[in-house]
Amino acid sequence: MELKFDNLDERIRYYELVLERDLTDLPEHPLPEGYRFVFYRPGDRDSWIAIERSAKEFSAWDQGLAAWERYFGGHEALLPDRMVFIENQAGEKVATASAWFDVIHGDPSGAGWVHWVAVRRDCQGRGLSKPLVACVLGLLKGLGYPRAKIPTQTTSWVAVKVYLDLGFRPIPQNAIHSRDGWRIVKALTDYPALAGFDAAGEEEILAQ
């Protein structure tokens, strides 16, 4: 394929994707030297929004505020045990993810959710994503969840590959309902675990 796509690329046709894995035999991915994990402290909301904006999850600050209120509003007392950041040597927060739950639909499966994984734009490609997600998986296991789910989308296809590397797989119902989305990921990554999907053509990948 001649087209080159960004880590989060709005040119890609949008499909919601959901992956899952059990919480046995968790992967170990230590942080690179010079970084450390820290947990949420009151006042970290703005750092969270700044990271997510840098990663292109939001185009405006107000969108970040709305997402914060939707997913975390009323649950801030839980965040010190569930929201993690990565700090660099200067003490700057450069990445974040949360060991969360389905606050929107109330997932009846009892799975924990890896939510809002983001690495600041200038720190992407430094080996932070896998340690970050692995850390959150450990938190979910410690909180007693038997399985983990992670919601994402085709526009975040690079992140989807990271999740596949960490042992996540498409949940069966999502593989049916968003089959064309998984065909796009297959075309962009040629990931072995997606061998059951035929690759989408270029005209199917690009958003209308």
Domain ranges of the chain: 1-23+148-208, 28-145
The model carries a pTM of 0.94
Distance of CA 172 to the CA centre of its chain: 19
Q: What pLDDT, on a 0 to 100 scale, did the predictor assign at position 10? A: 87
Count other Cβ atoms within 10 Å, centred on residue 94.
Answer: 23
Strands 147-153 and 16-22: antiparallel
Fold designation for 28-145: Aminopeptidase (3.40.630)
List, in sequence order, every residue forming a beta bridge with 99; answer none if it has no partner.
114
CA-CA-CA-CA torsion sign (17, 23, 24, 27): positive
Q: What pLDDT, on a 0 to 100 scale, did the predictor assign at position 1? A: 55
Q: pLDDT tens string for the chain (208 positions)?
A: 567 888 888 899 999 999 999 999 999 999 999 999 999 999 999 999 999 999 999 999 999 999 999 999 999 999 999 999 999 999 999 999 999 999 988 888 999 999 999 999 999 999 999 999 999 999 999 999 999 999 999 999 999 999 999 999 999 999 999 999 999 999 999 999 999 999 999 999 998 7
Instruction: Name the residue type at position 110.
Output: G
CB 47 within 8 A of CB 164: no
